[in-house]
A and B are shown apart, each in its own frame.
Chain A
Amino acid sequence: GENVEQHPSTLSVQEGDSAVIKCTYSDSASNYFPWYKQELGKGPQLIIDIRSNVGEKKDQRIAVTLNKTAKHFSLHITETQPEDSAVYFCAASIWSGGYQKVTFGTGTKLQVIP
Chain B
Amino acid sequence: EADIYQTPRYLVIGTGKKITLECSQTMGHDKMYWYQQDPGMELHLIHYSYGVNSTEKGDLSSESTVSRIRTEHFPLTLESARPSHTSQYLCASRAPDSGNTIYFGEGSWLTVV
Kindly provide the distance from the CB of A64 to the nearest chain B CB, expressed in whole angstroms: 14
Chain-B contact segment, one of A21-29, A67-75, A77-85, A105-113: A105-113
Check: B100 CB closer than 8 A to any chain A CB. yes
> Given the known A-B contacts A49-B100, A100-B100, are A106 and B41 also in contact in the complex, defined by CB atoms under 8 Å?
yes
Contact A99 B48 (CB under 8 A): yes
Chain-A contact segment, one of B13-21, B64-72, B75-83, B101-109: B101-109
Contact A32 B106 (CB under 8 A): no
- Which B residue's beta carbon lies closest to that of A9? B40
How many Cβ-Cβ contacts under 8 Å join chain A to chain B? 50
Contact B100 A32 (CB under 8 A): yes
Contact A46 B101 (CB under 8 A): yes
Check: B29 CB closer than 8 A to any chain A CB. no
> Given the known A-B contacts A87-B40, A89-B42, A104-B43, are A44 and B100 also in contact in the complex, defined by CB atoms under 8 Å?
no
Instruction: Using CB atoms and an 8 Å cutoff, list the residues of chain A in contact with chain B.
Output: 32, 34, 36, 41-46, 49, 51, 87, 89, 93, 99-100, 102, 104-107, 109
Instruction: Using CB atoms and an 8 Å cutoff, list the residues of chain B in contact with chain A.
Output: 6, 31, 40-43, 45, 48, 50, 56, 90, 92, 94, 99-107, 109
The 8 closest A-B pairs by CB, nearest first: A43-B104, A32-B100, A106-B42, A104-B43, A43-B107, A43-B106, A44-B104, A93-B100
